[in-house]
Amino acid sequence: MLAAIGEGVPLGDFDVDGDLLDWQLYIEGDELDLLETMTLEGMTDEVALSEFVTIDEESIQPRIPRKDGERMITVRAFPGDASADDIIAQVEEEIAALEDDAVAINIGGETAERTDVFIQIGQIFIVVVFLIFIVMLIQFYSISIPFIILSGVYLAFSGAMIGLFITQTGLGFMSLMGGVSLAGIVVRNGIVLIEFIEQRRKEGLGARDAVILAAEQRFRPVVLTSLTTIAGLMPVALGNSTLFQPLGITIVSGALFSAVLTLLVVPALYLVRERMKTGSIS
């Protein structure tokens, strides 16, 4: 009853000529008068609300919220079943259509927080890739070889995006965390191949022969290593967890895609490097 006097009682959505309208139940009249005459049902009889509470009218100074010295008003909305991204797109179109320099409109809430999270994850990814690059630079004493190995990361990201597209999974926080994890997982396969090739080169094999031998003898370790990762995360990718499923799909699809193409792309890039250095491939 009190809700009906004040903000109203939501009754739900009703279809009126094809349009869904949000209905609210209100009690018509002056709020103070309604509260003074309102009765409550007791054990044996109705009791006036005024016997339990004192109703006073008080004037207060209105608050004018400000941000950075400028007047501000906050509008909140709950999209319900609609996608927040779709609603944001519609709102941004209407904001762009406004031609009033005196008004500044900013979108906050979950969208702003998600953007901040994406920026932070991007910064973390840059640091992770840089540290991986430094470690490989120290290991191989070469600038070009780490770039060749890191090509597996790009392949993994391509596979992850394909997997998310096929499963119609959104690009969210957990899928981005899966992408950061992929950077460390798939680099291992490239290191295994390049290290084997470099060892055979030191033993006197030519670049072409060393690459062919690496593809033959390192095929099983690379594939089995990737399959163990995929098998371990397959229950997560196929599960019903809305939180961890994007993480599993990202890592599984990225690891599967990179495991196949790393055996082709990394050796091919190594031969291209040798041709650029010597002008021919022995």
Could you read off the pLDDT of 1-50 as tens digits, one per residue? 666 666 677 777 777 776 777 777 777 777 766 666 777 776 677 777 67
Domain ranges of the chain: 1-57, 110-278
Q: pLDDT tens across 131-180, in order? A: 888 988 888 888 888 888 888 888 888 888 998 888 888 777 788 888 88
Architecture (CATH level 2) of domain 110-278: Up-down Bundle (1.20)
Residues 6+ apart with CB under 8 A from 77: 87
Alpha helices in the chain (DSSP H): 2-5, 31-37, 84-97, 110-140, 144-166, 173-202, 207-217, 219-238, 245-278
3-state secondary structure of 49: helix
* 54-75 pLDDT, tens digit each: 777 777 777 778 777 778 887 7
* pLDDT at residue 66 in the model: 78
61-65: long-range contacts at Cβ-Cβ below 8 A with a sequence spacing of 24 or more? none
25 or 247, higher pLDDT: 247
Alpha helices in 51-109 (DSSP H): 84-97
Mean pLDDT of 235-248: 83
pLDDT of the residue at 85:
66
Angle at 73 between CA 94 and CA 97, to 5 degrees: 15
Residue 28: per-residue pLDDT: 75
